[in-house]
Amino acid sequence: MDSAKFKALMRHQAGAVTIITVGKPGERTGLTATAMCSLSDSPPSVLICVNRNASAHTPIRANKCFAVNILAQEHFDLARRFSTKLVEGEARFDADAWETLDTGAPALKGSLATLDCELMDEHQFETHSIFIGRVKDGTFREDVQPLLYFRGDFWDVKGR
């Protein structure tokens, strides 16, 4: 199967939209991603898949940590900002909207949920690295709805 057909098929799987972040203020970077899932509850862990060309790839390795910020539907513009090459690195972060977690990773204030992760393992597969993170801490909100990615666009649970 060619990659275009595979991408078209995978766009039919609705997924939670996350921003994976890493780095201390002045050196922060991140990316919008749907390739994240829970791995185990003992120990609490997640896996994320990051393209080796992504700006966050090398810093995740170097810092040995990352945050998974699960977005609420109000974060549509932020999801777009972190998914474009027009704005990169520290320029993607609004100073007042972020805080630093115990691992040193940046966390979005007001996210639907944030997981503070220590990098435990890494596996290579073709163009991507599969990073396994032990969840050290986290926060969540029950008063907001998720932002979803479906058929190549961002959606809320009621539609677009």
DSSP the chain: --HHHHHHHHTTS-EE-EEEEES-TTS-EEEEE--EEEEEETTEEEEEEEETTSTTHHHHHHHTEEEEEEPBGGGHHHHHHTT-SSS-GGGG--GGGEEE-TTS-EEETT-SEEEEEEEEEEEEETTEEEEEEEEEEEEE-SSSPBPEEETTEEEBTTB-
For residue 155, is pLDDT > 90? Answer: no
Q: What pLDDT is recorded for position 160?
A: 59
Question: Taking all residues of the chain, what is their mean pLDDT, rounded to a whole number?
Answer: 94
Q: What's the mean pLDDT in 96-124?
A: 96
Name the residue with higher pLDDT: 21 or 88. 21
pTM above 0.85, yes or no: yes
In the chain, what are the domains? 3-152 (2.30.110.10)
The residue behind tokens 């040193």 is: 104
Using the Cα atoms of residue 37, residue 127, residue 8 and residue 80 in order, give the sign of their dihedral.
Answer: positive
Whether 119 contacts 65, CB under 8 Å: yes
